[in-house]
């Protein structure tokens, strides 16, 4: 049989083990909650970064690619090709020769000169069924024979 002191020692030992287990479980719970919160924040930051990159990508695409191509890219399935075959296509790419010399001579009038030249190109394209694609600086680009693109291109 156990005497009173031994029973008291066993009670103290059981309470000590109980509190140690509670302490360890509490510590582990707090640690797991901390790690979970940290991981959630990392996921949130990663998703925000992906959203920013997608937005930057859309902004860049809006500058470089016509709207109908961007729409095809957005609608496509993963790894699906969006290329199309067109017969008898004409691409017009105009880069103004001597433009740097012209700037040196007519600095103030260069915007008006470019506007006049590009408006003339626009009129010629409209008369000949050519679709203006883009103008950047001193460069003009247009194409003809892209029937699937005609609904996208607005008349000049």
Q: What is the pLDDT of residues 15-52, one digit of tens each?
A: 999 999 999 999 999 999 999 999 999 999 999 999 99
pLDDT for res 149: 55
pLDDT for res 156: 46
Which token pair is 144?
């003809």
pLDDT for res 11: 92
- Mapping DSSP onto H, E and C, the string for the chain reads CCCHHHHHHHHHHHHHHHHHHHHHHHHHHHHHHHHHHHHHHHHHHHHHHHHHHHHHHHHHHHHHCCHHHHHHHHHCCCCCCCCCCCCCCEEEEEECCCHHHHHHHCCCCHHHHHHHHHHHHHHHHHHHCCEEEEEECCEEEEEECCHHHCCCCCCC
pTM of the model: 0.46
- Angle between the N-to-C axes of helices 4-64 and 67-75, in degrees from 0 to 180, rounded to the nearest 10: 150
Q: Quick: pLDDT tens for 71-127.
A: 888 888 778 887 777 788 889 899 988 888 888 888 788 888 889 999 999 999 888
Higher pLDDT, 9 or 70: 9
Looking at residues 120-145, what average pLDDT do you find?
A: 87
Residues 6+ apart with CB under 8 A from 92: 125, 130, 140, 141, 142, 143, 144
Does the pLDDT at position 53 exceed 90? Answer: yes
């Amino acid at each position: 049989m156990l005497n009173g002191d031994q029973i008291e020692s066993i009670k103290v030992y059981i309470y000590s083990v109980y509190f140690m287990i509670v302490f360890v479980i509490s510590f582990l719970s707090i640690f797991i909650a901390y790690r979970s919160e940290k991981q959630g924040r990392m996921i949130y930051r990663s998703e925000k970064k992906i959203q920013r990159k997608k937005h930057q990508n859309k902004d860049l695409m809006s500058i470089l690619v016509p709207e109908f191509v961007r729409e095809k890219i957005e609608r496509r399935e993963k790894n699906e090709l969006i290329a199309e075959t067109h017969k008898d296509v004409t691409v017009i790419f105009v880069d103004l020769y001597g433009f740097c010399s012209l700037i040196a001579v007519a600095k103030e009038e260069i915007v008006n000169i470019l506007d006049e030249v590009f408006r003339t190109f626009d009129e010629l394209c409209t008369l000949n069924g050519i679709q203006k694609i883009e103008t950047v600086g001193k460069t003009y680009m247009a194409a003809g024979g892209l029937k699937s693109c005609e609904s996208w291109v607005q008349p000049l």
